[in-house]
Structure 1
């Protein structure tokens, strides 16, 4: 759908999808790329990002603002990233409060979203060869390995924040890999949250510049993979989603924590537990029935959204 064919209502929907992506990226373990996959904006997002290169500046001088804006799908990018930025500052706080108050239900909901997405993406794969199954298993194993790395601690220098933004945004583009989780692994997650909360412009500019460079470079590489090796790349991305189920498992035992500069406790490492041993280990009710209902709500949300989108296309 072109910019001219979209209405204000269409862009409002894109804005809301961006808010969901931003809220997901704040939670370590949940990827904005996963939400982009679920909500159906992933391909357009990648194709729009890969056009944002320095060559656009030459096009701007030669063809004018209107043609250049249309070429990069500017309205779509502004609506999507507007939603992401608004969510980072506002709605993300609600998600974090929900994570603190009802973590089992929130993780179960995310698991339901991912499960339904795996099913729908698996259906979209026209044929499954042995190489595709191997790619899926490698993708799942990669996410599992990443999620079990021990966190480090890096200082919040500008150049380190630039590199952190570069790597984190690449993780954000990939479904199943959380940019926040990558920041947590290298010890920059509290620094990033405090920079947003306190509006530390210098740190945010360094991080944002890294994100822009990462978006421009990595989005083109991933688009090339999807164009050249679509089935194998899609199978790997599905593997990332399968691996992320380990991260979104609702019943967790906190192993190590740290305290940020505001006195808030930040979880560094967790271990998954069976819901049947959760009570004896943590002393907290596993809320098994409520968790299953929450996961079902996530599944239904994806299935209903897919059904409505299919009906609208017809």
Structure 2
């Protein structure tokens, strides 16, 4: 139980950092296959180990929730005081994860150029359709709770849940690009205030996470079995494009910002390469 809880905490922390893949963290910690088996087991009509599968997933998800909420506070501090440097830390995490992805997931697989281009195109299209979302808005006001917000939060949760299982893909990175990351992070950071305008959206995010996990398990299993090289090439395209669109071109640069941003970029790379050594 302790191992599963700690593994879930690590996955939760990974999912709140843009550029770090929760799925990759599962692979490194050795719980990826067990998680996929548990999800598949729960969805089966007949399963003699259903209780064990439910208990395992509960422990991992509880740990993930602890990691998400706890680390959101740290990120809020970083964005408030070092927004540009924090963005370059994320970029370092993403860019230097590419060699790790090539050595691990893509090992022995041939590149498929069309899926790679599709992955690139999706991220660039999201950035084009959301001009200005790359700017840092660290303290968004909580919107009024209505039907549209609840539906949006379900989609946000589905993205988080789906990408939680996909090695190489960061759900927070996708949320950052589509402009929902800072609101999502603020909800998590303020959950202990017990305000209804925070708790209600978080409940709908939770519903979305469960839906996303179930759908992602089915989709990943299908594409990995039938189109592994193409699927991984598509994911690689997402990662490459993400490291480019997050560059804060609108930031004000001076010598201090440039030097500290470079150090933050290198630090992000060191973390990813360290995970690669562990893997």
TM-score using structure 2 length: 0.73
Q: Residues 190 and 97 (structure 1 numbering): CA distance in 2 closer, same or farther, change over 3 Å? A: closer
Q: 2:9 touches 2:68 (CA, 8 Å); kept in 1?
A: no
Greater RCO, 1 or 2 (C-alpha within 8 Å, sep 6+): 2
- CA drift of 1:195 comes to 8.2
For the pair shown, the structure with the greater C-alpha radius of gyration is: 1
What's 1:180 paired with?
Answer: 175
Q: Residues 189 and 294 (structure 1 numbering): CA distance in 2 closer, same or farther, change over 3 Å? A: closer
Q: 2:9 touches 2:65 (CA, 8 Å); kept in 1?
A: no
2:221 equivalent among 215, 220, 223: 223
Q: 2:96 touches 2:269 (CA, 8 Å); kept in 1?
A: yes
What's 2:270 paired with?
Answer: 300
- CA drift of 1:132 comes to 1.3
C-alpha distance in structure 2 between counterparts of 1:188 and 1:118, whole Å: 28
TM-score using structure 1 length: 0.66
Structure 1: 5+ residue stretches without partners: 1-6, 25-29, 254-272, 310-314
Q: 1:183 touches 1:189 (CA, 8 Å); kept in 2?
A: no
Note the 1:202-213 alignment, pairs <5 A.
Answer: 202-213=200-211
Range moving further from structure 2, 133-142 or 45-54: 45-54
What's 2:91 paired with?
Answer: 111
- CA drift of 1:95 comes to 0.5
Q: Residues 49 and 293 (structure 1 numbering): CA distance in 2 closer, same or farther, change over 3 Å? A: farther
- CA drift of 1:38 comes to 5.5
C-alpha distance in structure 1 between counterparts of 2:269 and 2:182, whole Å: 33
Q: Deviations over 1:262-307 (max 9, x none)?
A: xxxxxxxxxxx7xxxx43xxxx656222222222222222222322
What's 1:36 paired with?
Answer: 23
State the secondary structure of the residue aligned to 2:179.
helix
- CA drift of 1:101 comes to 0.9
Note the 1:1-314 alignment, pairs <5 A.
Answer: 8=2, 10-11=3-4, 13-24=6-17, 30=18, 34-37=21-24, 40=27, 43-44=32-33, 47-48=36-37, 50-51=39-40, 53-55=42-44, 58-59=46-47, 63=48, 67-70=49-52, 72=53, 74-75=55-56, 77-124=57-104, 125-127=106-108, 129=110, 132-150=112-130, 156-157=146-147, 158-159=150-151, 161-167=153-159, 169-170=161-162, 173=165, 175-178=169-172, 180-181=175-176, 184=179, 189=184, 196=191, 197-200=193-196, 201-249=199-247, 251-253=248-250, 278-279=252-253, 287-309=257-279
TM superposition outliers: structure 1 runs of 4+ over 6 Å? 151-155
Q: 2:72 touches 2:189 (CA, 8 Å); kept in 1?
A: no
